[in-house]
Amino acid sequence: MKMLLITMLCLIAVSASAQQDLVIVPKDTGSVNTKSFAQSIVAGTNDNYAKAKTLLGWLSNHFEWKATDYQNRTVKEIIVRQGGNCFELATVYMALLKELNLTYRPIAEINIHVYSEQRGKRADEMIKQSGNRVSVFGKQHNDHRWVEIYDDKTGEWVPADPTMNIIGFDQWLKARAWFGERHTINDEFSGDMIAPFAIFVVNSNNKGLIEENRTLYYMVTKLDNLYGGKLSKLPSWDKWVSGLQTLSAAAKRAFEGEENLHNYGEQISDLARVYENLKKEYANRR
């Protein structure tokens, strides 16, 4: 009986996988029906969280991350293109979640990035052309977009990133924040992002409006919990928390066009050093 049950479960899993392989990506915008497209991806999946996870996995494995080219594309155009930058991939994911009546909200992030003088010069030129909002990109920081989905079983908003194929706090923390080895579906993109210092819920209708600051929840509460509360006992922890508070406040103003985040280059460098100190202190703890 037990063997029969295992066999049936395996057949169901194979059937669902085979059904996903049959999903057809439209070749032109005129033939894109986002509702049918979303339903074809999650066919055979009933649980809401499972639908969100299945949809995320399909997009991450079938759509390609592409470097930003500053073109404004519709959801249908991104689908036909079968890829885009992090903002575009998150936009498609949210559009398909909406068609499935799944609850979500957009997230805007800024992270400590691998240092690049060339990136800094390019970013300075962009600010002259487009204003403070593009200062979220710089020589030691970069912006990133993803999504939070509502898990109706736990009553919690959880991270979901179609660019990296990560969903849930454990995957997110181990791909984006912890001190251990990191792997995502897109190591080329994620490898240069050291740790987020600003995480915001963005208004769905007004993408420049910040609704909630989630930085400390992710990078203090959840990160410390991952390490069993041991990080908060390290010497550099208070500097880490205060640095996040300072920079996330400045990042919010930058997203809203009220602040040039490049004026905080020294503070970003300081926070990068604090992060490395935390890593060393944790490794050397007694």
User: What are the structural domain ranges in the chain?
Assistant: 16-102, 103-286
Q: Decide: pTM greater than 0.85.
A: yes
pLDDT at 9: 41
pLDDT at 7: 43
pLDDT at 21: 60
Question: What are the residues facing 212 on neighbouring strands?
Answer: 201
In CATH, what number does 16-102 get?
Answer: 3.10.620.30
pLDDT at 189: 77
Decide if 67 contacts 85 (C-beta within 8 A): yes
pLDDT at 27: 85
* 164/191 Cα distance (integer angstroms): 11
CA distances in angstroms from 82 to 51, 74, 85, 134, 242, listed in the order given: 20, 12, 11, 26, 41
CA distances in angstroms from 168 to 159, 187, 212, 234, listed in the order given: 5, 18, 19, 26
Q: How many CB atoms lie within 10 A of CB 188?
A: 8
> Could you state, in chain order, the average pLDDT of each consecutive group of 10 residues for the chain (286 residues)?
44 46 82 95 95 97 90 94 95 98 97 95 94 96 97 96 97 97 85 96 82 97 98 98 98 95 98 98 90
